[in-house]
Amino acid sequence: MRIYLVRHGDAVPEEDAGSDRDRWLSNKGREGARVLARLLREQRVELDAILCSPLPRAVQTAELIAQGLDFLGTIVTRRAFEPSAQPRVAADTIAGAGGSVLVVSHEPAISTLGAYLVGKPAFPPFRTAQCCAIEDGRPRFVARADTGLVDALFVEGVDH
């Protein structure tokens, strides 16, 4: 199974939106999501499903990535990917979604989910518009919109 964990793009300040739940992507966040989609496309990512938090900034990020990857399926929103979500519930939601699934969520939920999926006590925090690819329970690469780069995380035979 391939799971692509994504933190949403940069969002407007809470003061502009009225509440944290209502924050939407800033112009920088929209551009970051487009850059991330391009990086994933260059990695030849093909998806069976896109799952995301129902919060606007996550939905908008998922939509921009879907567009950039020519994903024609339905983006499914689930509360299991909200900021305070439990990793076990999120992992159970992902398990039935397909063999290649992209998940858009928030910190700290996304890094907690990453740790859970790879069986480690902690996982590095995600920057906005960052993706970590996990294949069969092992991290494979990180794509970051802020640098425009994809970096291999693990080398075969070396466990970090």
Domain span at 81: 2-141
- Our measurement of the distance from residue 142's CA atom to the centroid of its chain's CA atoms, rounded to an integer in Å, reads 11
Q: Is residue 148 part of a domain?
A: no
Give yes or no for a contact between 22 and 16, defined as CB atoms under 8 angstroms apart: no
Q: What is the pLDDT of residue 152?
A: 86
User: Strand locations in 8-155, DSSP E?
Assistant: 49-52, 75-77, 100-105, 130-135, 138-144, 149-152
Give yes or no for a contact between 5 and 113, defined as CB atoms under 8 angstroms apart: yes
Per-residue pLDDT of the chain (160 residues; tens, 9 = 90+): 999 999 999 999 999 999 999 999 999 999 999 999 999 999 999 999 999 999 999 999 999 999 999 999 999 999 999 999 999 999 999 999 999 999 999 999 999 999 999 999 999 999 999 999 999 999 999 999 999 999 987 544 334 4
By residue count, the chain amounts to 160
Domain count along the chain: 1
Q: What is the pLDDT of residue 155?
A: 40
Q: Is residue 152 part of a domain?
A: no
Q: Phi and psi at residue 3, in whole multiples of 5°?
A: -125, 130
Q: Is residue 158 part of a domain?
A: no
Q: Is residue 147 part of a domain?
A: no
The Cα–Cα gap between 38 and 149 comes to 10
The Cα–Cα gap between 98 and 107 comes to 24
The CATH number linked to 30 is 3.40.50.1240
